[in-house]
Amino acid sequence: MTGKHVFYALLLTVGGLVVQSTLFGESRINPFGAAPNLVLLLVVICAAYLEPEPALLVAFTSGLLMDLLGGSTIGLWAIAMLVAAYVTLRMRRRIDDGIVVVAAGVLGLSVLGQAIFAIASTLFGQQVFADPGWYRQIVLPSLYNVAFAAILIPVVSRVMGGRQVRRLV
C-alpha cells in the first residue's frame, strides 16, 4: 500500500462526488425518487483495500466534501462515512466468504451509512424524518449501491492493484 493508492482512492471518491451531483438525484436520474450514493459506495470499497488509517482519512475527507457541496450541516456525512469505513475495516476479511457476502455487506454498510446520516441530521435539527418517504431514501440508494458495486468493485480493484476483492469478480 503506497501513497499512490491513497491518492487514487481520493481521486475516485472525488470523481464519484462529481458524477453523483450531476448525473443522479432530483432533476436527474432518480428512479423511484432516489439515487445511488456513489461516494458512500466508493468509500466502502476503498476501505477494503487501504490500510486502516488512510481508509479512515479518505472516508473523513469524502464525507466532508459531501457536506460542503451538499445542503447539510458540515460534519454529518463525515460521521456517516467514518462509521461505514470503520465497520468495513472490521469486517473486510469476510470478503473471502463469497460474492453474496460482498453484496450483503455493501447493502448493509450502505443502509448503515445512510441511517447514521439521517440520525445525525435529526440530532442537528435537519428534520430528515419529516419526509414521509424517509425510509425509501435509506433503502433505495442502498439497493442501487449493490447494483453499482458490480461495476465499481472491478474498477477499484484494477486501480488498487486487486489485492482483495479481485478473486470474487
Partner 1 sequence: MEPFRRFDRSTSLFIGLLIVSFLAATIDVRSQGAGIGDTLRDGTQSLFSPLQQAASVVTRPIVGFVDGISNIAGLREENDRLRDRVGELEAQAEDFAGLQNRLVELERINNLEPPGDVADITAQIFSVGVSSFDHIRWIDVGSDDGVVAGHTVIDEDGLVGRVDFVNATTARVRLISDPRNGVGVRDLDTNETGLIEGQGSGLLRLRMFNPEEPVEEGHLIVTEGGRYAPGVVVGRVAESATAEAGFSLITDVNAAVDFTRIDFVKVLVGWLPSDFSGPPEPGDPIPDAPEPFRGS
Q: In this structure, what C-alpha cell is assigned to residue 141?
A: 440508494
Which member of 1, 7, 11, 18 binds partner 1 (CB under 8 A)? 18
Interaction between residue 66 and partner 1 (CB under 8 A):
yes
Mark the segment that binds partner 1 (CB under 8 A) among 51-59, 97-105, 146-154, 155-163. 51-59
Q: Which is nearer to partner 1, 35 or 153 (CB)?
A: 35
| Conformational region of residue 131, where left means phi above 0, alpha means psi within -120 to 50, and beta covers everything else | beta
Which residue type, as a one-letter code, is found at position 138? I
Which residue type, as a one-letter code, is found at position 149? A
Interaction between residue 160 and partner 1 (CB under 8 A):
no
Which residue type, as a one-letter code, is found at position 166? R
Q: Over the Cα atoms of the chain, what is R_g? A: 15
**Which residue is listed with cell 479512515?**
56
Asked if residues 11 and 63 have their Cβ atoms less than 8 Å apart, the reply is no
Mark the segment that binds partner 1 (CB under 8 A) among 2-10, 16-24, 102-110, 151-159. 16-24
Residue ranges that bind partner 1, judged by CB under 8 A: 17-31, 33-35, 37, 39, 52-53, 55-57, 60, 63-66, 68-79, 82-83, 86, 89-93, 114, 117-118, 120-121, 124-128, 130-134, 136-137, 140-141
